[in-house]
């Protein structure tokens, strides 16, 4: 939930409020970020060395000025994410020890972890929870959890893990790969764009294997997709132009990741290029985030006190909703089995992502949460407590098998860029969940989670014809053996 309302008139005030909360000295450091006049390759090196907020702040300052000039809202993703930080800071101003998190926000290598802790704390605070941030232990080898929630006389321990941190830790290796690939392309005179999709943390041996694969393809002039380490690393090749030929086209940079390297030679006095090379890195969770999720889950479990009630929040580093759902679907069963059979002190795991939907011009950031519950817990969460992402109603959800029926009508067109929930009900602890919705990829879907079916059942189909203004009768059934969908009495399947 965001309490900040973005208007042209409010932007200058928000800019100053953010500067006050983060500190004017830190803001000045961000403002010193400059790439104007630098070659592209130097710009990328500067981008990788500075704080993640630097480029956002530079763009935000310019965009605030442009919005005031034009009288309309035109903000980039980075600017909206800065306003989201302001929202979360203001929601948690009086939370004990929140200043420790703010200080970590200012540290380049701590930023992503601290940002996710702040986001999680803000959302629990919106729900009315009494929270405090737990300081890092000064005792060597002792790991504490991040957030303490007090509900009545019960303590609930929350640990946050952001997988965005992986990019920061791996960036020196990625930079080395990019520079070595640049040398390979120049050696074999290839003006190529190379995109590396990585679903595995990189080490020295894997780095060398990636370079060897690219060198083999460059030497043989092979533009076919290659795979390194089974399904862990995908490498795509695209020819930009002929070597030593002047490059007149505008190279499309839209959608590129922040881990991208450009190399080129200036062919004329007015800056026209030749021998352009582009090496882009995508630590892509659609490939294989499973090992990362399980690794962070194991570490987080150790940080929950023994005999405590623990909730683990894991941030998925993807800004597209369909890819976030892909990660959820791929990992739900493994995480469910792990926490139900191996970890006694974890009550639920919440997979989260803040997706960016540019078609929503005023509020394009969407908070997404998917709860994976522990069903055989001996230490239940207290009555009345709500995990982030739950939507309790008075209607109970049958456990072993059940049916849901209702009538619905669409009175406006579905927004194709965001999911649409037709029915959404869950218990506060996430043990019971039932949602009927249209996904990001326009699939009609029902998700059911209950103890009686030992986890989750899904039924889905391709987009069905729902016409605005008409009324429909929906029915869904589920049991241990599966789930089914019906529309106006007719089964709907793939």
Three-state SS annotation for 311-341: EEEEECCCCCHHHHHHHHHHHHHHHHHHHHH
**Over its length of 494 residues, how does the chain's per-residue pLDDT go in tens digits?**
556 678 888 999 999 999 999 999 999 988 886 655 555 556 556 666 678 888 789 889 999 999 999 988 888 888 999 999 999 999 999 999 999 999 999 998 899 999 999 999 999 999 999 999 999 887 877 788 999 999 999 999 999 999 875 555 566 677 788 888 999 999 999 999 998 887 666 777 888 889 999 999 999 999 998 888 766 788 999 998 889 887 655 555 444 555 667 777 765 555 566 788 888 887 655 556 788 899 999 999 999 988 789 999 999 987 778 888 989 999 999 999 999 998 888 999 999 999 888 777 677 888 999 999 999 877 889 999 999 999 998 889 999 999 999 888 776 666 666 788 889 999 999 999 999 998 888 888 999 999 999 999 999 887 667 777 788 898 999 999 999 999 888 888 75
Task: Report the C-alpha gap between 38 and 44 in whole angstroms.
Answer: 10
Task: Report the C-alpha gap between 84 and 90 in whole angstroms.
Answer: 10
Task: Work out the angle at residue 12's Cα, subtended by the Cα atoms of residues 7 and 16, and round it to the nearest 5 degrees.
Answer: 130
CATH architecture of the domain covering 390-494: Sandwich (2.60)
The answer to whether the beta carbons of residues 148 and 157 sit under 8 Å apart is: yes
The answer to whether the beta carbons of residues 404 and 426 sit under 8 Å apart is: no
- What pLDDT does 127 receive? 92
- What pLDDT does 198 receive? 79
* Domain residue ranges of the chain, discontinuous segments joined by +: 1-91, 166-285, 390-494
- What pLDDT does 440 receive? 85
Q: Which of 440, 292, 441, 455 is nearest to 372 (CA)?
A: 455
Q: Which of 310, 295, 312, 290 is nearest to 117 (CA)?
A: 312
The answer to whether the beta carbons of residues 67 and 75 sit under 8 Å apart is: yes
CA 142 to chain centre: 28
- What pLDDT does 255 receive? 47
- DSSP 8-state code for residue 398: -
CA distances from 299 to 136, 272, 296, 340, 351 (A): 15, 51, 5, 16, 16
Q: Who's near 301: CB < 8 A, 6+ residues apart?
A: 310, 312, 343, 345, 346
Task: Report the C-alpha gap between 204 and 418 in whole angstroms.
Answer: 40
- Identify the H or E element spanning 478: strand 471-479
- What pLDDT does 34 receive? 65
- What pLDDT does 254 receive? 44
**What's the pTM value of the predicted model, to 2 decimals?**
0.80
What is the Rg, in whole angstroms, of the alpha carbon atoms belonging to the chain? 25
Q: Which of 186, 199, 362 is nearest to 293 (CA)?
A: 199
């Amino acid at each position: 939930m965001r309490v900040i309302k973005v208007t042209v008139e409010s932007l200058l005030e928000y800019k100053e409020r953010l500067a006050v909360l983060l500190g004017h000295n830190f803001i000045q450091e961000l403002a010193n970020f400059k790439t104007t006049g630098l070659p592209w390759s130097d710009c990328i090196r500067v981008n990788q060395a500075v704080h993640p907020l630097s480029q956002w702040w530079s763009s935000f300052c310019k965009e605030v000025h442009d919005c005031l000039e034009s009288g309309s809202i035109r903000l980039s993703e980075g600017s909206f994410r800065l306003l989201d930080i302001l929202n979360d800071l203001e929601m948690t101003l009086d939370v004990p020890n929140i200043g420790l998190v703010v200080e970590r926000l200012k540290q380049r290598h701590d930023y992503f972890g601290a940002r996710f802790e702040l986001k999680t704390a803000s959302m629990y605070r919106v729900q009315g929870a009494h929270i405090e941030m737990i300081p890092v232990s000064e005792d060597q080898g002792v790991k504490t959890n991040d957030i303490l929630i007090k509900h009545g006389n019960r303590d609930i321990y929350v640990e946050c893990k952001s997988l965005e941190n992986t990019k920061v830790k791996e960036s020196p290796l990625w930079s080395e790969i990019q520079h070595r690939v640049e040398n390979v392309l120049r050696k074999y005179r290839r003006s190529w764009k190379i995109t590396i999709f990585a679903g595995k943390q990189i080490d020295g041996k894997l780095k060398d294997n990636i370079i060897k694969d690219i060198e083999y393809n460059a030497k043989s002039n092979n533009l076919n997709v290659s795979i390194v380490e089974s399904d862990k690393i995908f490498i795509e090749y695209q020819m930009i132009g002929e070597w030593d030929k002047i490059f007149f086209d505008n190279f499309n940079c839209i959608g590129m990741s922040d881990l991208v390297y450009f190399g080129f030679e200036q062919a004329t006095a007015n800056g026209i290029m030749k021998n352009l090379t582009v090496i882009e890195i995508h630590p892509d969770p659609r490939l294989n985030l499973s090992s990362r999720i399980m690794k962070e889950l194991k570490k987080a479990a150790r940080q929950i006190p023994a005999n405590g009630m623990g909730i683990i929040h894991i941030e998925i580093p993807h800004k597209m909703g369909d890819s976030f759902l892909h990660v959820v679907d791929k990992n739900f069963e493994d995480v469910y089995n792990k926490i139900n059979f191996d970890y006694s002190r974890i009550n639920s795991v919440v997979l989260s992502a803040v997706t960016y939907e540019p078609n929503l011009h005023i509020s394009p950031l969407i908070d997404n949460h998917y709860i994976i519950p522990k069903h055989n817990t001996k230490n239940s969460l207290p009555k009345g407590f709500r995990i982030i992402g739950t939507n309790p109603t008075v209607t109970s959800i049958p456990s072993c098998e059940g049916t849901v029926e209702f009538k619905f009508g669409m009175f406006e067109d579905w927004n194709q860029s965001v999911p649409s929930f037709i029915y959404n009900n869950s218990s506060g602890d996430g043990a019971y969940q039932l949602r009927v919705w249209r996904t990001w990829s326009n699939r009609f879907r029902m998700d059911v989670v209950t103890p009686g079916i030992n986890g989750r059942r899904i039924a889905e189909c391709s987009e069905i014809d729902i016409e605005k203004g008409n009324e429909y009768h929906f029915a869904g059934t589920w049991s241990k053996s599966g789930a089914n969908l019906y529309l106006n009495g007719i089964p709907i399947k793939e």
